Structure formats: structure tokens, C-alpha cells
Amino acid sequence: MDQIFHNLVIGFGVAVTPINLLFALIGCLLGTLIGVLPGIGPVATIAMLLPITFNLSPVGALIMLAGIYYGAQYGGSTTAILVNIPGEASSVVTCLDGYQMARQGRAGPALATAAIGSFFAGCVATVIIAVAAPPLAEVALKFGPAEYFSLMVFGLIAATVLAHGSLIKAIAMVIWGLLFGLVGTDVNSGVLRFSFGIPELSDGIGFVIVAMGMFGTAEIVANLEMKEQREIFTSKVKNLWPTKQDFKDAWASVLRGTALGSALGILPGGGALLASFGAYSLEKKISKHPEKFGKGAIEGVAAPESANNAGAQTSFIPMLTLGIPSNAVMALMIGALMIQGIAPGPQVMNEKPQLFWGLIASMWVGNLMLIILNLPLIGMWVKLLTVPYRYLFPSILVFMAIGVYSLSNNAFDVLIMGVFGVVGYICAKLECEPAPMILGFILGPLMEENLRRAMLLSRGDPTVFFTKPISAGFMIASVILLIGVALPAIRKKREEVFVEEG
């Protein structure tokens, strides 16, 4: 306990220096901005800013990027409640009850509940990270190559299981990502793989470039193909403060949302999106008045909004302690660390306590800023929504192109982004999820490296992954996950076939 307190003191010492406060503020404002605006998410934004962070201090860069991620969770709810459009994917369920509350003239309490719930969840999640990270990092330090390989297998399987849509397609996308990740020089032999004589490919394909193409370009095009229609809920936001009855209805939902969100955030493949969906269905299941959901139940706003913020923050735990990304945003954070010359992994906590605890403390500071800033600024954010998309998308494209071009001042990178934009577009049309592919892409070289080392140490005996206890645990967990998801799917499809024949 003393240790935690001591660590948090170090952290706050770093987080409240004026320059880092400024970075947290920039991150939170930017995050809220892109959260409010539909059609641009934290992945594309962080990818865009990644090259710029090269000029910042490591801790400042991470504080700002983290602020964008959890700031987006706050901003997304504003759009969901007032416009019935999820500004952020994780706010999809907030639309259901939040917009209904707004229609009943209770937009103020809905916004306030979302903000207060998010703030509470953010505080709890910060404490969870501070308590859970050190022991996890301790365990992770004992990991050998076999454990790391199995952990990555588990992480990738979990990511596919939690992705919606076909399981086989999701696993295929992961392997696709792993293969694309192998392009470039093989570190062991120095052989150029899959570079087809193109010198720019000898260092591999930049992760940021793939992410921008698959998420950025593909998303812009998807928005352009839809007809532009955005009706703003024009009622003035007044009576911000929820009533006593609202508090009574919502506090338990906030607690449950926070707990569920924190748990789902730690899981590989989890994070804000899964957390909000999980929390909403849990609330609906245990509520005494499930019929009220979808008609403006305050619980339906409080639980998912708390959950998505908690999940956004606890998803930092596997990234900070194991060096393994649990979602695309965390993969970008690892990219940010590597740009700064820091190898992500359990050693970061001991070698760079300022960075580690500074980041954690900044999350609490950022959450405080968000709640103080956001409620008074809601009017401004709403005004932003009236900006038509035909002004927004060329601007977003300019920032994407600048971001990618400045990585190495090379037009070829922009071309690769274009190619992956088309790939991402086709994948979306074929219902193949891009997120598992991105995870595979970043883990590809790491996985190969650890597989090679593990096999070298075991003299070519593949059973090593099942005889070492921790590694075996991960492998068994992966198999259970796979079977657990595969079974009902098979059963369901079979039933349908039988119905057809009968």
C-alpha cells in the first residue's frame, strides 16, 4: 500500500508539471473533438499524430495520446445523446436511451449522468491500474519465449472471439496481419522477405500506414457512400443536474458498469467498445423494469458510459505490463513508445518510473479536466456537429496525408496507405473485420521471434508450449475460448440447415 502511494506521488509529480498538464489538456480536447465528430475515431487520430510525437518528450507524448483515447469516450456520448448518432463506436448503445431522454427534454441529466459516470469509472480504473500493474509486471518479467508466444496466441484468439462476425474469417484476418507484418528484413538471417525488389519495403510496412489506410481512408469512403443526413436535436440543454431520483436509479448502474468495463478492458481484444455493449445488456437483464430500456432509462446511459471509460483505461494494463496491445489504440501506443526508443514490456515500470506513473496519474488528471471542461463546453461541441461532412473529410485527409508523408518524407508510404485503404474498403464490403488484422500485423515479428527462440531452447520440441505451466495455461485458455464460441455457432447454423430440410 505504501509502495502504491509512493508511486502515485511520483506520478502526480510528473503529471501536474505545467507542460504535461498542457499535453493532457490538448489530448482531452482533441479526444472530445473527434469523439463528438462522427466518422473519425481515436485510431485514425492517434495514427495521424504519431509522427509528430517524435518531437515531444516520451511522457508528454503518451499523456497526450492517452487523453485522446479516453477523451473520445466522453465526446462520443454527447453526439449519441443529442443527435442519436454514435460519435464513437463505443457510444452506439448510449444512443438507445440517451437520445430518448433528450427527446423527453432530459438531455441535461443524460449528459451529466454520462459525464459523472465516466469520471467515477475513470477514477476507479486509475486505481485499478496502479494496484494491478506492478504485480503483473513482476510475473511478466519471469516470462520466457515460450510463455510470450502462448500469451500472444491467447491474445490473438481472444481478439477474434470478441470480434463480431464469423470466427473463421476473424482468425484468417489475424493470420493475414501476421503475414503482412513479416514483410521486410528478417532479423535472424538478414534476408529480405516479400519486398519484391522495392527498396522502401526493406524496413517493412509501417504499422501507422496500415492502420490509417484500413481505418482512416476506408471509413471516410464508407461515410461518403452513405447519404449525408444529420438532424441535430435542437432543444436547448438546460437543467444539467440530475434529480435525486436519477441519482437513486443510476448509482448502482454506474458501479456495475465500472466493474464490468474494468474487467473487459483488461482482456485482450477488449477495450471500450466491448465494455459498453456488455454493460448495457447486463443492465437490461438484471433490471426490474426491462421494458423501460430504449425509452429513456437513465440506467441505459449510466452503465455503458461508465463501462466504456473504465474499459478504455484498463486496456492500458496489458500494454504497460506485458508490452502486448489489447486493441488497435494500444498497438499505436506501443508504436509511440518505440518511436521514442523505449522497448515496451514489463521492464518499463522499473526503468522509467516517471513515465509509467506519470501516465497513470495523468489519466486521473485528464478525467478531472474532462468533467470540468465538458459540461460548460457542450454548446460548443454541439455547434461543431453542424459542420457538414463535405468540409470535414478533405481536412481529415490532409492531416492523414501529412502524418504519413512525414514518417520518412517518402511518397511511397502514402501510396501504401492508399493500397491498404482499398484493401480495408473491400474487407468492409466482405464483412472481414480489420481490427484483428491490425493486431496480427503488429504482433507478427514478435511472435516469430519468440517462436524461434522457444524452439531453439527446447531443441525443436513443440511440446514445450504445453509442458511449461504458464504457457500451457494460456494455450488451454485459448482452446477453451475457441471451443466455447465455435460450439453455439455450429449448433445454430446446423439448426438452420435442419429447418431448411425439414
Partner 1 sequence: MKIKSQKDFWSGLMFVGSGLFFAFWAMAFYQMGTAVRMGPAYFPTVLGFLLAVLGALVLLESLTLEPEGDQAVHTPFNIIDLVVTVAIYAILIVLSQTFSLASEWPILGGTIIVSLLTVVFRPDAKPIVLVTAATIAYGYLMKPLGLVIATAALVYISALGGHEFKWKEVTILFIILVLFSVLVFVKGLTLPFPIWPEYFS
Dihedral of CA 117/274/79/235: which sign? negative
Euclidean distance between CA atoms 141 and 437, whole angstroms:
27
Binder of partner 1 out of 9, 19, 426, 476 (CB under 8 A): 426
Shortest distance in whole angstroms from residue 92 CB to partner 1? 18
Secondary structure class of 184 (helix, strand, coil): strand
Binder of partner 1 out of 295, 418, 470, 473 (CB under 8 A): 418
Burial 41-74 (b: 16+ CB within 10 A, else e): bbbbbbbbbbbebeebbbbbbbbbbbbbbbbbbb
Shortest distance in whole angstroms from residue 180 CB to partner 1? 9
Tell me if 189 contacts partner 1 by CB under 8 A: yes
Give the residue among 28, 38, 31, 23 at the shortest CA–CA distance from 384: 38
Name the DSSP letter for residue 385: T
Give the residue among 257, 4, 27 at the shortest CA–CA distance from 119: 257
- Restricting to residues 205-264, which ones interact with partner 1 according to CB under 8 A? 217, 220-221, 224-225, 227-228
Tell me if 502 contacts partner 1 by CB under 8 A: no
Binder of partner 1 out of 19, 131, 186, 236 (CB under 8 A): 186
Binder of partner 1 out of 55, 234, 386, 463 (CB under 8 A): 55
Measured from the CB atom, is 146 or 432 closer to partner 1? 432
Measured from the CB atom, is 252 or 392 closer to partner 1? 392
Shortest distance in whole angstroms from residue 166 CB to partner 1? 7
Binder of partner 1 out of 3, 234, 409, 463 (CB under 8 A): 409
Shortest distance in whole angstroms from residue 49 CB to partner 1? 11
Name the DSSP letter for residue 270: -
Shortest distance in whole angstroms from residue 37 CB to partner 1? 16
Residue by residue, what is the 3-state secondary structure of 281-323? HHHHHHCCCHHHCCCCCCHHHHHHHHHHHHHHHHCHHHHHHHC
- Restricting to residues 437-466, which ones interact with partner 1 according to CB under 8 A? 447-448, 451-452, 455-456, 459-460, 462
Q: For residue 294, give the C-alpha cell.
A: 430504449
Euclidean distance between CA atoms 354 and 349, whole angstroms:
8
- Residue 394 CB: number of other CB atoms within 10 A? 10
- Residue 441 CB: number of other CB atoms within 10 A? 28
- Restricting to residues 140-179, which ones interact with partner 1 according to CB under 8 A? 166, 168-169, 171-172, 175-176, 178-179
Would you give the binding string for partner 1 spanning residues 193-212, x where CB under 8 A is met?
Answer: xx------------------
Instruction: Give the type of residue at 105.
Output: G
Do residues 269 and 279 lie in contact, with contact meaning Cβ atoms separated by under 8 Å?
Answer: no
Q: What is Dmax (Cα atoms) for the chain?
A: 71
Measured from the CB atom, is 194 or 466 closer to partner 1? 194
Tell me if 473 contacts partner 1 by CB under 8 A: no
Binder of partner 1 out of 6, 105, 138, 188 (CB under 8 A): 188
Rule CB under 8 A: which residues touch partner 1? 52, 55, 166, 168-169, 171-172, 175-176, 178-179, 182, 186, 188-189, 191, 193-194, 217, 220-221, 224-225, 227-228, 389-391, 393-395, 397-398, 400-402, 404-406, 409-415, 417-418, 421-422, 425-427, 429-432, 447-448, 451-452, 455-456, 459-460, 462, 493, 496-497, 500
